[in-house]
């Protein structure tokens, strides 16, 4: 059984040890040591990283009650020196202890119980068994949590028996059988926990609630502690500095400046829409029935079909007695709109059916207006001709 030095001294950064077993499983090479400062993933806390004899430790897991240090190459049996990625571990300890404090305050002051905890590479969250949190509650919990930090309270751990556990009123029943490790923050929290924590609440540094969202029938609260919180603050600073420069406004007026830009954008979009409508009307005014063919025909290239439809409607309104066929083509792909004016004869669904058959296409419409698209490898003139013949047959 490996001696868990991370429990005896959570601040131990390196140690000498002996590899007592070296093997390989489906996850890769692993070593079992006689004693270790590497924390294996568990209780919401990720595994430690670091090196053993300069060989990279990529994961640490408890498998069949032994702690396996997974490395990117095999380690020989015998004496080694093991060293943690201390920045990573300290970060985990700050987030984990911060979670204890937050969960205790949410529970004690507002009866909101923590159902799970997630410590991700970027974000840290707890899930609370309630449907909503007010801004006042949110601000109050954050204030009280930071007061716990400032009170410089000891974080202690102790092992107790299963019988002793049942006599205690724990926030959450322990998830394991046998001796239980109790983590106690003076006057704030007493909880069964197998993770690593700093020795004093002051070492958490700071607790900042970031955001919340509805999740799994409850509320998920995102927060950051210690160095992570300051790193996040730095990112926000860099973002606001950039916005101050781009929008040429002081921080306090960024929101106002952004709103002004959005309003201007909306007004511009409205103007563009009006100008486009005017352009389409002008374009439609230039289109008229071919004196010989009697129809209005036009090929537009790869033009947005919505515009072609709009143009067809305007043109048909200008020429109540005429029928039209507009094509938008892109290589062998062809989309088409056929329409007739209010006084013209015929049902557009009949030529439409013919065009769809010729292009192996799909489409639909009514008696006045039809649209569709497919593939056509022949000259487009053939489509216009078929359209005109179809109209003739209607008369
Ligand atoms: Zn813990």
Residue that the structure tokens 């090479």 belong to = 29
Distance 68 CA to ligand 1 centre (A): 21
Distance 130 CA to ligand 1 centre (A): 22
- For residue range 242-262, list pLDDT tens digits in order: 999 999 999 999 999 999 999
Distance 144 CA to ligand 1 centre (A): 19
Which listed CATH number (2.40.30.130, 3.40.50.970, 2.40.70.10, 3.90.1200.10) goes with 3-84? 2.40.30.130
Distance 193 CA to ligand 1 centre (A): 5
Provide the b/e sequence for 92-117 (b: ≥16 CB within 10 Å).
Answer: bbbbbbbbbbbbbbbbeeeebbbeeb
Q: How many CB atoms are closer than 10 A to CB 298?
A: 17
pLDDT at 346: 85
The yes-or-no verdict on residue 357 having pLDDT over 70 is: yes
395 band by pLDDT with thresholds 50, 70 and 90 = low
Averaged confidence pLDDT in the chain: 94
Distance 182 CA to ligand 1 centre (A): 9
Residues, beta carbon < 5 Å, ion ligand 1: 96, 193, 195
pLDDT at 180: 87
Give the best-scoring range by mean pLDDT among 108-112, 190-194, 343-347. 108-112
User: How far is Cα 207 from Cα 144, in angstroms, rounded to an integer?
Assistant: 10
Distance 167 CA to ligand 1 centre (A): 20
225 band by pLDDT with thresholds 50, 70 and 90 = very high
Distance 95 CA to ligand 1 centre (A): 9
Distance 102 CA to ligand 1 centre (A): 12
Distance 246 CA to ligand 1 centre (A): 44
Distance 236 CA to ligand 1 centre (A): 29
| Counts of helices then strands in the chain (DSSP H, E) | 9, 20
Q: Is 363 helix (H, G, I), strand (E, B) or coil?
A: strand
Mean pLDDT value across residues 376-395? 90
The length of the chain in residues reads 395
Distance 342 CA to ligand 1 centre (A): 77
Distance 44 CA to ligand 1 centre (A): 9
Distance 96 CA to ligand 1 centre (A): 6
Helices 381-394 and 349-359 cross at an angle (nearest 10°) of 150
User: How far is Cα 290 from Cα 150, in angstroms, rounded to an integer?
Assistant: 87
User: Which residue in 118, 94, 96, 119 sits closest to 229, CA to CA?
Assistant: 94
Distance 198 CA to ligand 1 centre (A): 10
- For residue range 15-27, list pLDDT tens digits in order: 999 999 999 999 9
Distance 157 CA to ligand 1 centre (A): 10
Which DSSP helix (H) or strand (E) runs through 340? strand 333-340
Distance 346 CA to ligand 1 centre (A): 79
The yes-or-no verdict on residue 198 having pLDDT over 70 is: yes
Contact of 321 with 339, CB cutoff 8 Å: no
The yes-or-no verdict on residue 211 having pLDDT over 90 is: yes
pLDDT at 88: 97
Q: What is the CA radius of gyration of the chain?
A: 36
- For residue range 99-112, list pLDDT tens digits in order: 999 999 999 999 99
319 band by pLDDT with thresholds 50, 70 and 90 = very high
pLDDT at 44: 87
CATH 3.40.710.10 holds for 90-234: no
CATH number attached to the domain at 287-394? 3.10.310.40
User: How far is Cα 130 from Cα 331, in angstroms, rounded to an integer?
Assistant: 58
User: How far is Cα 135 from Cα 126, in angstroms, rounded to an integer?
Assistant: 17
Distance 97 CA to ligand 1 centre (A): 6
pLDDT > 70 fraction of the chain, expressed in percent and rounded: 99
- For residue range 80-130, list pLDDT tens digits in order: 999 999 999 999 999 999 999 999 999 999 999 999 999 999 999 999 999
Distance 304 CA to ligand 1 centre (A): 59
More confident residue, 1 or 269: 269
Distance 206 CA to ligand 1 centre (A): 17
Full DSSP string of 135-193:
HHHHHHHHHHHHHHHHTT-BEEEEEE-HHHHHHS--SS--SSSSSEEEEEETTTEEEE-
pLDDT at 210: 96
Q: Which two tokens stand for residue 138?
A: 């949110």
């Amino acid at each position: 059984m490996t001696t868990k030095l991370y429990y005896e001294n959570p601040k131990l950064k390196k140690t000498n040890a002996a590899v007592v077993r070296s093997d390989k499983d489906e996850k890769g090479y692993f070593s079992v040591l006689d004693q270790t400062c590497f924390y294996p993933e568990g209780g919401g806390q990720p595994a430690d990283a670091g090196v053993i004899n300069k060989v990279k430790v990529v994961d640490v897991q408890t498998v069949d009650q032994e702690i396996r240090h997974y490395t990117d190459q095999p380690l020989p049996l015998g004496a080694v020196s093991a060293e943690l990625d201390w920045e990573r571990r300290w970060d985990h300890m700050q987030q984990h202890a911060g979670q204890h404090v937050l969960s205790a305050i949410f529970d004690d002051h507002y009866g909101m119980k923590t159902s799970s905890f997630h410590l991700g590479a970027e974000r840290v969250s707890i899930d609370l068994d309630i449907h909503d949190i007010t801004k006042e509650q949110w601000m109050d919990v954050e204030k009280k949590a930071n007061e716990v930090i400032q009170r410089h309270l000891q974080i202690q751990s102790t092992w107790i028996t299963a019988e002793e556990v049942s006599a205690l009123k724990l926030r959450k029943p322990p998830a394991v059988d046998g001796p239980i490790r109790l983590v106690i923050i003076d006057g704030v929290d007493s909880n069964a926990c197998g993770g690593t924590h700093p020795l004093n609440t002051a070492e958490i540094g700071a607790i900042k609630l970031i955001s919340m969202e509805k999740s799994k029938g409850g509320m998920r609260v995102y927060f950051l502690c210690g160095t992570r919180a300051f790193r996040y603050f730095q990112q926000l600073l860099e973002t606001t500095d950039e916005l101050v420069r781009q929008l040429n406004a002081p921080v306090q007026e960024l929101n106002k400046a952004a709103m002004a830009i959005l309003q201007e954008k909306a007004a511009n979009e409205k103007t563009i829409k009006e100008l486009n409508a005017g352009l389409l009307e002008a374009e439609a005014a230039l289109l008229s029935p071919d004196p010989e063919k009697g129809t209005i025909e036009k090929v537009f290239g790869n033009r947005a079909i919505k515009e072609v439809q709009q143009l067809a409607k305007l043109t048909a309104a200008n020429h109540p007695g005429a029928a039209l066929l507009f094509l938008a083509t892109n290589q062998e792909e062809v989309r088409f709109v056929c329409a007739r004016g209010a006084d013209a004869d015929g049902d557009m669904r009949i030529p439409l059916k013919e065009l769809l058959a010729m292009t192996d296409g799909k489409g639909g419409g009514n008696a006045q207006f039809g649209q569709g698209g497919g593939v056509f490898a022949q000259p487009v003139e053939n489509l216009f001709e078929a359209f005109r013949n179809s109209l003739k047959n209607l008369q």
